[in-house]
Copies of this chain bind each other. A is one copy, B any other.
Amino acid sequence: MHDVYAAVNPVEPAAGIPAFETSPTTTLRARIPLRLAEIDPRGTAGYAGSKAESKETLAGMDPVLSDWQERLFAASRHGSAQRVLLIIQGMDTAGKGGIVRHVIGSVDPQGVHHAAFKAPTAEELAHDFLWRIEREVPQEGMLGVFDRSHYEDVLIARVRGLADHDEVQRRFAAIRDFEARLAEAGTAIVKVMLHISREEQAERLAARLDRPEKHWKFDPSDIDERAMWEDYQLAYQAAIEATDADHAPWFVVPADRKWFARISVQALLIDALQGLNPQWPAATFDVEAEKARLAASR
């Protein structure tokens, strides 16, 4: 397979690592108008490797992602405003936590800002829906990760009737403004919808019910939400169509195969970082003079 990254990466993966033939930035970018029903949740677009090979891909690209992340962090210590924000959305059990664990888990925790958004608190509800989001925006040099996000306010809010049509439209506009501001401030935004099938969700919920150590992840409301599957699909379509932009692109990532979703998100992050192209900062001191001072201090 042709390694699309080898030519441009500062850290080249070892030869022979199975790689994407076509970058997920191309194959998985949301096409507007969006028809989720036409996208196979078991798809593996652009990747010809097997599940076993995908583990080599993931592990082989870990150092590439880590290297870019460290450059991003280093550059911010010398004035760069660049940062990355990964927004992960998906139905219950779609694999949001697995992405955090297996993709984000490979980079230095010092450079990661992770925020999981649950049902809003009374204080959060007393503010505009973006209030709690703004507080978790990544600082310069950080890789921010939103496990759920402001999109819940146009997804569950629409499906559950917590916001009417006009309010949802107002929120779409607010989200567009918000994300445009983030992008202008130097944020590379990557928005991922983990696209699973209703059948796969049933399998995963059943697995949680079968294992006592997974019971804490289960909530009876998960099955209530499941009953509104089609409403959610339509809500996702509307939200993605209303907020997809080149500076804040949406990617629909087939997620019935967890391994494919993981290597895809890893590749999307690497691509976003390559786009920023952060560089090791030049020394702001006289290197030879400092070497002499150090020698004198021994």
Chain B residues whose C-beta falls within 8 Å of the C-beta of A226 in the assembled complex: 297
A16 at the interface (CB under 8 A from B): no
Chain B residues whose C-beta falls within 8 Å of the C-beta of A290 in the assembled complex: 209, 218, 220, 223
A interface, over-half SS: helix
A293-B223 in contact (CB<8A): yes
Q: How many residues of A contact B (CB 8 A)?
A: 44
A291-B209 in contact (CB<8A): yes
A223-B294 in contact (CB<8A): yes
Chain B residues whose C-beta falls within 8 Å of the C-beta of A219 in the assembled complex: 285
A265 at the interface (CB under 8 A from B): no
Known pairs A74-B217, A209-B287, A223-B290; list 19 more (Cβ under 8 Å): A101-B110, A105-B105, A105-B109, A109-B109, A110-B114, A110-B147, A112-B114, A202-B298, A206-B291, A206-B294, A212-B280, A212-B282, A213-B280, A215-B283, A216-B281, A218-B283, A218-B285, A219-B285, A220-B290
> Can you name 13 A-B pairs with beta carbons within 8 Å?
A74-B213, A78-B216, A101-B109, A109-B109, A109-B114, A110-B116, A110-B147, A202-B297, A212-B282, A212-B283, A216-B280, A216-B281, A218-B290
